Structure 1
Amino acid sequence: MQNIKDTVKEVVYAILPLSLVVIILQYTIIGMPMETFLQFIVGIIMVSVGLILFLLGVHIGLLPIGEMIGAALPKMGKAWLVVFFGFLLGFVATIAEPDVRVLAMQVDFVSDGIISSSILIYTVALGVAIFVGLAMLRIILNVPITYLLVGGYGLVFLLAAFTPAHFVPISFDAGGVTTGPMTVPFILALGVGVASVLKGKSASTDGFGLVALASIGPILAVLVLGVIYG
Structure 2
Amino acid sequence: MQNIKDTVKEVVYAIMPLSLVVIILQLTIIGMPTELFIQFLIGVLMVSVGLILFLLGVHIGLLPVGEMIGAALPKMGKAWLVVFFGFLLGFVATVAEPDVRVLALQVDLVSEGIISSNLLIYTVALGVAVFVGLAMLRIILKIPITYLLVGGYGVVFILAAFTPAHFVPISFDAGGVTTGPMTVPFILALGVGVASVLRGKSASTDGFGLVALASIGPIIAVLVLGVVYG
In structure 2, C-alpha distance between the alignment counterparts of 1:87 and 1:126, rounded to whole Å: 8
Describe how 1:209-224 pairs up with structure 2 within 5 A: 209-224=209-224
Q: Structure 1 229/201 Cα, relative in aligned 2: closer, same or farther at 3 Å?
A: farther
Structure 1 residue 202 displacement after superposition: 1.5
Q: Is the 8 A contact 2:199 2:206 kept in 1?
A: no
In structure 2, C-alpha distance between the alignment counterparts of 1:124 and 1:190, rounded to whole Å: 19
Q: Provide the residue aligned with 1:69 in structure 2.
A: 69
**AA in 2 matched with 1:128:** V
Q: Provide the residue aligned with 2:160 in structure 1.
A: 160
Return structure 1 stretches of 4+ with deviation > 6 angstroms: none
In structure 2, C-alpha distance between the alignment counterparts of 1:152 and 1:218, rounded to whole Å: 11
Partner of 2:112: helix, strand, or coil?
A: coil
Describe how 1:30-179 pairs up with structure 2 within 5 A: 30-179=30-179
Structure 1 residue 203 displacement after superposition: 1.3
TM-score, structure 1 normalization: 0.99
TM-score, structure 2 normalization: 0.99
**AA in 1 matched with 2:3:** N
Over aligned residues, Cα RMSD in angstroms? 0.7
In structure 2, C-alpha distance between the alignment counterparts of 1:67 and 1:200, rounded to whole Å: 14
In structure 2, C-alpha distance between the alignment counterparts of 1:222 and 1:134, rounded to whole Å: 18
Structure 1 residue 200 displacement after superposition: 5.7
- Percent identity between matched residues is 90
Structure 1 unaligned regions, length at least 5 = none
Q: Provide the residue aligned with 1:15 in structure 2.
A: 15
